[in-house]
Structure 1
Amino acid sequence: MAKAVIISGGTSENSRLNGISDFVENYLNSEGITFDTINVRDLPPADLIYGKYDSPDIIMANAKVEEAEIVIILTPVYKASFTGVLKTYLDLLPQKGLVDKTVLPLVLGGTFGHLLMIDYALKPVLAALGATTLLAGAYILDTQVERLENQQFKLDTDAEQRLQQALGYVSPEK
């Protein structure tokens, strides 16, 4: 059975990125893929900022990545790149922490003008961590994720189709 880890680089508890995360979790469950989630914003800030590789929380998060065959990276676009909080965590992964893993980047942005951030900002960092099976990923506009009541979100049809297609490459039969 495949095992995945979702690494969320979102900075807000009520981000539309949660709508994408919910979709991913539902997809993984439907495919019988077990998974863990690392919400980087919930890791101790001092451990991230001061690069505390020996922090119990960082060690536990890194163990989740090590055990996974599939790594799904979620991030909003900030200043034409991925979030700093995500970068601080990626810096604490072992140098080749993504070797032999299928890595899928999923990005939420305000305009398609930042679509290339996946290829020019995020993928080089993931490749430096040893990712050799680096999937194309998906870019979703924040207007395609509707915020509902009670921390619920609704994705429009186009966003769901693009996520479904991107996630199809991590399914066991692929």
Structure 2
Amino acid sequence: MAAGLLFGGGRRGGTTHISPARVSVVDISGSPSGTSKSRALVEHTLGCFAARGASSELVDLAGLPADALLGRVTAPAVTTALETTTRARIVVAGTPVYRATYSGLLKLFFDLLPQDSLVGKIGVPIATGHAAAHALAVDHGLRPLFASLGATVIAAGVYGTSAQFQDGKPAAELLQAVDRAVREAWALAGAVG
């Protein structure tokens, strides 16, 4: 079935069909750098969801006006990014790990989202860091961040280390981890909501 996803376990033992036109995805790059390892993974998820027929949009927080992210002024670009995020069925957030947690830029953006604005949505946490020692940032930082706004978070987030990148490109095993996360989020998008 090329037009969507068909899986068992729907109501009363039937099947549930996900129409790709119904599934919208926002991929948030929470890195202050326009080119980063976390952004590379976020862009890969964008491609994976698009290949499934979903409409996907990238929100690059580094390109948004800082004063608006701080709540000092309003800016159409920030308003659009917030609206895109709250309309999406699946929300991907990618961030580098700083001081054992997600970036301050990502925190600023999530602070601007209305309470419960991610209820009924699927959260996909992605983080990158220098070493494996910060892998818990996914479970102890990003997962609670999503949950605080009501999102259902996939079971296995993605964490990549510097050693898993060569010339800015993610290694095959890291791309496979992203692919698994995408499959789980896609299945949950049909089961939740």
Output the TM-score relative to the length of structure 2: 0.80
In structure 2, the partner of 1:119 is 139
Mapped to 2, the partners of 1:167 and 1:44 lie a distance apart of 30
Deviation, structure 1 residue 51: 5.1
Q: Give structure 1 stretches of 5+ with no counterpart.
A: 148-152
- 1:121-152 CA-partner distances (Å, limit 9, x unpaired): 22222211111x111311111221222xxxxx
Task: Answer yes or no: is 1:169 the counterpart of 2:184.
Answer: yes
Residue number in structure 1 paired with 2:26: 5
**Aligned match of 1:99:** 119
Q: Distance in 2 between matches of 1:108 and 1:77?
A: 6
Structure 1 consecutive aligned stretches of length 4 or more whose deviation exceeds 6 Å: none
Q: How does 1:21-170 map to 2 (within 5 A)?
A: 21-50=42-71, 52=73, 54-131=74-151, 133-135=152-154, 136-147=156-167, 153-170=168-185
Deviation sequence 1:30-64 (CA, Å, 0-9, x none)? 11111111111111101112354x43222211110
Letter of the structure 2 residue corresponding to residue 62 of structure 1: L
AA partner of residue 104 (structure 1):
V
Q: What count of residue pairs does the alignment treat as equivalent?
A: 167
Distance in 1, matches of 2:30 and 2:182, equals 18
Determine which structure has more spread, i.e. the larger CA radius of gyration. Answer: 2
120 and 100 in structure 1: CA distance in 2 versus 1, 3 angstrom threshold: same
Amino acid across the alignment from 2:140: Y
* Residue identity matched to 1:100: G
- 1:72-108 CA-to-partner distances (Å, cap 9, x unmatched) read 0111111100000110010000111111101100111
DSSP-derived class of the 1:97 partner: coil
Give the direction of change, closer, same or farther, for the CA distance of 1:143–1:84 in structure 2 (3 Å limit).
same
**TM-score w.r.t. structure 1 length?**
0.88
The one-letter code sitting in structure 2 at the alignment partner of 1:168 is R
AA matched with 1:27: C
Residue 75 of structure 1 aligns with an amino acid whose one-letter code is: T
- In 1, the alpha carbon distance for the partners of 2:69 and 2:100 equals 22
Query: CA 1:61–1:139 in 2, change beyond 3 Å: closer, same or farther?
Result: same
